[in-house]
Amino acid sequence: MQSPKIECQIKALHMKQMFSIIMWVLVVMPTCLSQESTDIADLFKIKCAICHTIGGGKLIGPDLSGVDQRHSRDWLVEFVRSSQKMINRGDPAAVALFEANNKIQMPDPMISDDQIQSILDHIEAQSGQAASGSEYVSILEGASPENRESGRRLFEGLHSFSNGGPSCLSCHNDISTYFFSENSYSNKDIRTSFSTLGEAGIKAILESPPFPVMRKAFEGRPLQEAEIHDLLVFLRDSGSANAHANPSSGYLLYGLGGTVLLLFLIAGLWIERKRTSVNHKIYKRQIRSAN
């Protein structure tokens, strides 16, 4: 039989344990759930919000409000994991989405299936609430020729970005109006990007690049608001001016120029060719010596 003192100590210990449990339920658990909710919202913002809204209308990609009603959860997980794999194998719904959104490839998010499930839960929860974004308002009203020229210089690397990011021409075709308008080292031709993605889509990409190479290039070196504005002006105006341009015209001119240069080189060598044999020159020299 336990002494009254020991029984009191045991009761005190039980009370402490109960108090700890109650405090965990009331304080720690809500904090963890709130942190988890915040993490999911941040993940959605990083991975999805650049191209999509939840109830705010189409951006680069479709509005995700009610997407769980349009497709099964398994289909959505697979599509988010790698949309291009589904498109390449001919999944009808994936191909239809691809065609309906200007055939813009959605980058693989490089996250786990559990994270994808969490994002889908977040979209489903937000779909029943008010729109997550308002209608986009253009920032290009009143843009001047000076803004366009500034955007061109930024695009071509003639003027450096404030935070030291690389010029757009490092990876993209030169869409300026100069005589030679193609860059042979280009990876992505963006002459029609503005008409395809719209101002809101291009602005979202410039503010928070979703593509791995671009994201790495501008990591820690974000574009300034004024730089984004001027680039948008340049892309808008250049896109309309080059909408019907022949993308191979520059290469044709390079080829013609090289051919002309080669012909001049051949002509020069032909003029300097040997007109008589070496033996004939030796013979004439010997005759002169003999005389």
**Beta carbons of 141 and 157 less than 8 angstroms apart:** no
pLDDT at residue number 136? 73
pLDDT at residue number 75? 95
pLDDT at residue number 114? 93
CATH of domain 16-127: 1.10.760.10
Helices (H), 161-277: 193-207, 212-217, 225-241, 249-271
Average pLDDT taken over every residue of the chain:
75
- The pLDDT tens digits for 241-252 are 554 444 444 555
Burial class (CB in 10 A: 0-12, 13-18, 19+), 82: middle
Please state whether the predicted TM-score (pTM) of the whole model is above 0.85. Answer: no
* Domain 16-127 shares a fold with domain 145-241: yes
pLDDT at residue number 32? 42
CATH of domain 145-241: 1.10.760
pLDDT at residue number 15? 54
Give CA–CA dist 284/78, Å, rounded: 88
- CA distances for 5 relative to 17, 19, 150, 273, angstroms: 19, 21, 84, 120
Instruction: Give me the residue spans of the domains in the chain.
Output: 16-127, 145-241, 251-290
Nearest to 59 by CA among 45, 39, 38: 45
- pLDDT string in tens for the chain (291-residue length): 556 555 555 555 555 555 444 444 444 444 444 444 458 888 888 888 878 888 888 878 888 999 999 999 999 999 999 999 999 999 999 999 999 888 888 888 888 999 999 999 999 988 866 554 556 788 999 999 999 999 999 998 999 999 999 988 888 765 544 333 333 333 455 666 777 778 888 888 888 887 778 888 898 999 999 999 999 999 888 876 554 444 444 555 566 777 878 887 777 666 655 555 556 666 667 667 666
- CA distances for 181 relative to 159, 168, 178, 245, 252, angstroms: 18, 14, 6, 10, 11
Give CA–CA dist 116/75, Å, rounded: 12
